[in-house]
Structure 1
Amino acid sequence: MRLIRPPLFALTLTTALLTGCATQAPTDSGPEPIDTRAEHLPRRAFDWQPVIDSVAADTQAGKARVQTTPDNALKLTLEDDAAFGSDSATPTASFVGLLGRISAIVRQHPSLIVRIVGHTDSNGREGYNMQLSRARAKAVRAVLIDDGKIDPVRLNAEGRGEAEPVADNATPEGRARNRRVELFLTPFP
């Protein structure tokens, strides 16, 4: 009987182990986090009228805009001037009141999850604007958790900086529209 040399034996053993590991099924690492942007997840019909009614005064005052999306989410756009002071991530008192009304609706409907997206205009450095948009989104999330008593698992906050303008940054009016926070309320079964 012929003996296998040690280096060749180690290489053969390593190859066999790696081949075996590559063909094994992955182990279950627990439940997947909720992805509020997952387009493959089923969406159920939802009556948005109570939410729209709860922010009607804010929409009439120009502090918020409301629209439904084709995938049955509700997009609530909150204007920056009504939400935060200039160059600040601290919510105004009136904005905290608006978030309180939204929190009440979210608490009443446990199937709703909320994605919070912060935006800025193009004034300043791009990196700073990204940090500011993230800080504002996180501040909104903190208000919804602390004051609104919403389970943090139902909330996702992200910043987009100046990357997604809705108006021309060359005008003061356009920059004001670009400074905003968007809340996407999405029903899941």
Structure 2
Amino acid sequence: MKTMNILKYLLAIAILIITSSVTRAQLLKKLKKVVKDAAEQTVQDKTAEKTQETTSKAMDGVFAMPGKIKIHNKKDKRHLSGSGDNNADNTTAYSVSASESSFAALSKYDFVPGEKIVAMEDFSQDAVGDFPAKWNTNASGEIMQVEGSDDHWLALTTKGASTPEFVADIPENATIEFDLAVTPKYSYYSSPLFISIINNKSKNDFANWSYPAAARKTSGVLFSLHPQDAGNVSLGRSAIQTFENKEKVMGNEKKNLECFSKEQNVVHVALWRQKQRLRVYVDETKLWDLPRAFAENINYNSLVFGHNGSEKGEFYLISNIRLAIGEPDTRNKLITEGKFTTTGIHFATGSAEIMTESYGVLKEIANVLKENSSVNIQIIGHTDNVGNAAANQQLSEQRAASVKTYLNAQFGIDNARMTTSGKGDTQPVADNNTTEGRAQNRRVEFIKM
């Protein structure tokens, strides 16, 4: 009898150990998995709170992995990838990412990217573990990959500033876009990420922009993002400051941000300069809109990313940086010239899923069509030449169809007014051997019928 009780006791312990291991494994799996609805998200949040102590060591091990890290984005607003076509041969269907519930928020999103891409950086030419060859820094950083994606990200791992040296001019009508991620455990006491557009007078002026107190040595605009606000809440914060001829002109801050936080830690950031005006967007949120951010008669010619130090294993990651110039003249080109081409409709990699930052461009097109009700259009998709040609052809057709679906579902444009087709990679307008050229070739044409 005693032997039986001992066996039962040992069996119970064994089951407890196994269950604990399974629970832990399931938790880590959940932390990697995209949360698709609020109910599931709530369950995971509670689970994560209860098991925070037991999983902290395991998560520390995750971020110690060389070259490959895990970034958990609960709201799944962003794919951990760019808009390239490297996975085109795996695409079998198209979809539209903006749901009815998010459409109301997007209705205020007015960002429209520049017409001509002049610089594009996805770090594809750089090896994992290296600092990118086309950049300069007074600190350190390295190329990493996020688990679940082959894309390269620059991890800003130490205190200091980094700048893409191939960006030598940010003209009066320019847009800058990039994907931003931050490690989920990023501490309130670690530095914000500082993004600056500056007047770089000498080769190393950029080094002064790793934090605001050092930025008084030249002219520029600096804004910051941090995923953690005071009070241990899972909300972020932001600030902005402008400097002119070594003097601070103005500054402000915002707290309790939902658009960038520990819960929403992978986002798309867009900056839009129109002469003196600067708009800053994080996903579909317009975070800043300053009519006098830029001083007159100053040459803004450099983009700088910096921070002033963080805890070990905590860092920001950036990728898919896109500088474009020229304001798209949608109405004139489509109605008068009969053709409008845009690279501003972004799709998930190897997919026809439209990303939320494309809303501004699609809204412009829809407005033109509403104001000219007799105009019909053909929508033509194009890809770069990465991947299988037949798959690229299919992908281009699916992307055109996805745009048609979006214009009908979100803006009420009659399907009878729109036809679609795809040209795959057969009609490049730029060199597919360069990152900028491939980005220019990934485009959507609208032809007046």
TM-score, L = length of structure 1: 0.60
**Aligned residue number for residue 407 of structure 2:** 144
8 Å contact from structure 2 (residues 111, 360) kept in 1 = no
More helix by percentage: 1
RCO higher in 1 or 2 (8 Å CA, sep ≥ 6)? 1
Runs of 5+ consecutive residues of structure 2 not aligned to the other structure: 1-109, 115-172, 176-323
Alignment pair present for 1:58 and 2:127: no
- For residue 109 of structure 1, the aligned residue among 367, 372, 384 is 372
Q: CA RMSD in A?
A: 2.6
- For residue 169 of structure 1, the aligned residue among 412, 432, 442 is 432
Instruction: Count the aligned residue pairs.
Output: 130
Distance in 1 between the 2:361 and 2:439 partners?
Answer: 19
8 Å contact from structure 2 (residues 112, 361) kept in 1 = no
What is the one-letter code of the residue matched to 2:393? Answer: M
8 Å contact from structure 1 (residues 96, 143) kept in 2 = no
TM-score, L = length of structure 2: 0.27
Distance in 2 between the 1:176 and 1:119 partners?
Answer: 11
**Aligned residue number for residue 249 of structure 2:** none
Matched residue of 2:368: which SS? helix
> What's the offset of the Cα at 1:100?
2.1
> What's the offset of the Cα at 1:153?
1.2
> What's the offset of the Cα at 1:85?
2.2
- For residue 97 of structure 1, the aligned residue among 336, 353, 360 is 360
8 Å contact from structure 1 (residues 118, 181) kept in 2 = yes
* Correspondence list, 1:121-132, <5 A: 121-132=384-395
Alignment pair present for 1:77 and 2:132: no
Runs of 5+ consecutive residues of structure 1 not aligned to the other structure: 1-54
Query: Structure 1, residues 129-167: CA drift from partner, whole Å, max 9, x if none?
Result: 001100100000001111111111110111000010001
Alignment pair present for 1:87 and 2:142: no
Distance in 1 between the 2:111 and 2:377 partners?
Answer: 19
What is the one-letter code of the residue matched to 2:417? Answer: R
What is the one-letter code of the residue matched to 1:171? Answer: T
What is the one-letter code of the residue matched to 1:90? Answer: E
Query: Structure 1, residues 8-36: CA drift from partner, whole Å, max 9, x if none?
Result: xxxxxxxxxxxxxxxxxxxxxxxxxxxxx
What is the one-letter code of the residue matched to 1:75? Answer: K
Query: Structure 1, residues 106-140: CA drift from partner, whole Å, max 9, x if none?
Result: 11211111111100111111100001100100000
Runs of 4+ with >4 A deviation: 63-67
8 Å contact from structure 1 (residues 73, 184) kept in 2 = no
Change (3 A) 1:73 1:154: farther
